[in-house]
């Protein structure tokens, strides 16, 4: 009788251990599946990254992909994370990504972040481009659409960077620098241009999209190439959700401000003005857009050789 009880106890212990192992095994598998579905995307808190924010807001718990947003405070810090694989992708100045590709770093572009939205902002005492002669103008980075637009504006006015003082400055510092006359103007991602105009500390001198560079490109969604090779379907799914988010923002303009407010500490009036200047449709990068971008980069000595369109823009991600 005693042996029978001991046998039953032994069986019970084995069942408990087996059940615990099974539960643990399922938990591990679930965690692994979740981690495989998670894609880490770096960003700066700017209006130009709104499709990324919208993609995050529109995702569902049972969706095919989970976007983990990783915030950075500067472009160099963000690019280091992207290039070294600390993040899987990023919303970034497209020139920085092209330059990385030129340097042999495998980054691949999937889509644009926006179109338009790069106003040239100046102090209230500036009325013409010639009024900027000898004055300080801020840009976010020398590898940027903003620099290319500034150079074209100066050239068309019979000037060059030799006639002004071009300063790289953190976007967050530009409106306050303009307000205290440390700079005479700036061109940068939104919402920092809108901030000066809404606070009446500056005004729009020029809309480059209308006067300088129609169909210009600026920020883009890019991926680390190693991640794309290891998880091509995940990269495609993120791109699909991202493009769908851009269309959602276009079709539901009333949702742009609420989504932006969740990721940016900016008052409503500034965000509203910022969003009036930006569009989020037609986010696929065409060969014509890329050719125009790289032609301008070469002209301004930002590139020594041009990566092929098919090498930089991974069309398999958006089709």
The pLDDT mean for the chain works out to 90
Tell me what pLDDT residue 36 has: 55
Is residue 307 within 8 Å of residue 232, measured between CB atoms? no
For the chain, what percent of residues have pLDDT higher than 70? 89
For the chain, what percent of residues have pLDDT higher than 90? 85
pLDDT at position 252 over 60: yes
pLDDT at position 28 over 70: no
Q: How confident is the model at residue 219 (pLDDT cuts 50, 70, 90)?
A: very high
Instruction: List pLDDT tens digits, range 168-218.
Output: 999 999 999 999 999 999 999 999 999 999 999 999 999 999 999 999 999
Is residue 169 within 8 Å of residue 186, measured between CB atoms? yes
Residue 144 φ then ψ, to 5°? -155, 155
pLDDT at position 133 over 70: yes
Tell me what pLDDT residue 32 has: 39
User: Domain 120-211: what homologous superfamily?
Assistant: Periplasmic binding protein-like II (3.40.190.10)
Residue 282 in tokens:
């037609």
Tell me what pLDDT residue 319 has: 76
In the predicted model, what is the mean pLDDT of residues 139-156? Answer: 96
Is residue 58 within 8 Å of residue 248, measured between CB atoms? yes
Count of CB atoms situated within 10 Å of the CB of 130: 12
Tell me what pLDDT residue 35 has: 47
In the predicted model, what is the mean pLDDT of residues 85-99? Answer: 97
Q: How confident is the model at residue 90 (pLDDT cuts 50, 70, 90)?
A: very high
In the chain, CATH 3.40.190.10 sits at: 38-115+216-317, 120-211
- CA–CA distance, 183 with 137 (Å, rounded to integer): 6
- Provide the pairing of β-strand 115-116 with 278-279: antiparallel
Secondary structure class of 282 (helix, strand, coil): coil
In the predicted model, what is the mean pLDDT of residues 262-266? Answer: 94
Instruction: List pLDDT tens digits, range 276-316.
Output: 999 999 999 999 999 999 999 999 999 999 999 999 999 99
Count of CB atoms situated within 10 Å of the CB of 227: 21
CA-based nearest residue to 75, from 209, 169, 208: 169
Q: How confident is the model at residue 61 (pLDDT cuts 50, 70, 90)?
A: confident
User: Domain 38-115+216-317: what homologous superfamily?
Assistant: Periplasmic binding protein-like II (3.40.190.10)
**Looking at per-residue confidence, does 205 or 60 come out higher?**
205
Tell me what pLDDT residue 16 has: 53
In the predicted model, what is the mean pLDDT of residues 83-88? Answer: 96
């Amino acid at each position: 009788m005693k042996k029978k009880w001991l046998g039953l106890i032994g069986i019970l212990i084995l069942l408990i251990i087996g059940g615990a192992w099974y539960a643990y095994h399922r938990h591990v598998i679930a965690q692994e599946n979740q981690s495989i579905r998670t894609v880490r995307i770096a960003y700066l808190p700017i209006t130009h990254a709104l499709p990324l924010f919208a993609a995050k807001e529109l995702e569902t718990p049972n969706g095919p992909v989970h976007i983990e947003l990783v915030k950075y405070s500067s472009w160099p810090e963000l690019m280091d994370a992207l290039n070294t694989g600390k993040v899987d992708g990023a919303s970034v100045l497209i020139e920085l990504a092209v330059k990385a590709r030129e340097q042999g770093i495998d980054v691949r572009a999937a889509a644009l972040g926006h179109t338009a939205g790069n106003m040239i902002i100046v102090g209230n005492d500036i009325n013409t481009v010639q009024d900027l002669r000898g004055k300080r103008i801020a840009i976010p980075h020398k590898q940027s659409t903003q620099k290319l637009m500034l150079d074209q504006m100066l050239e068309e006015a019979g000037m060059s960077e030799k006639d002004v003082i071009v300063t790289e400055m953190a976007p967050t510092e530009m409106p306050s620098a303009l307000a205290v006359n440390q700079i005479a103007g700036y061109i940068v991602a939104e919402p920092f241009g809108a901030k000066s105009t809404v606070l009446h500390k500056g005004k729009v001198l020029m809309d480059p999209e209308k006067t300088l560079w129609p169909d210009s490109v600026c920020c883009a969604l890019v991926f680390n190439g190693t991640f794309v090779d290891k998880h091509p379907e995940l990269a495609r799914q993120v791109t699909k959700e991202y493009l769908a988010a851009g269309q959602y923002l276009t079709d539901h303009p009333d949702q742009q401000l609420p989504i932006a407010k969740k990721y940016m500490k900016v008052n409503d009036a500034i965000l509203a003005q910022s969003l009036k200047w930006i569009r989020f449709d037609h986010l696929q990068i065409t060969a014509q857009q890329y050719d125009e971008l790289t032609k301008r980069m070469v002209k301004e000595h930002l590139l020594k050789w041009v990566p092929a369109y098919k090498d930089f823009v991974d069309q398999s991600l958006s089709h």
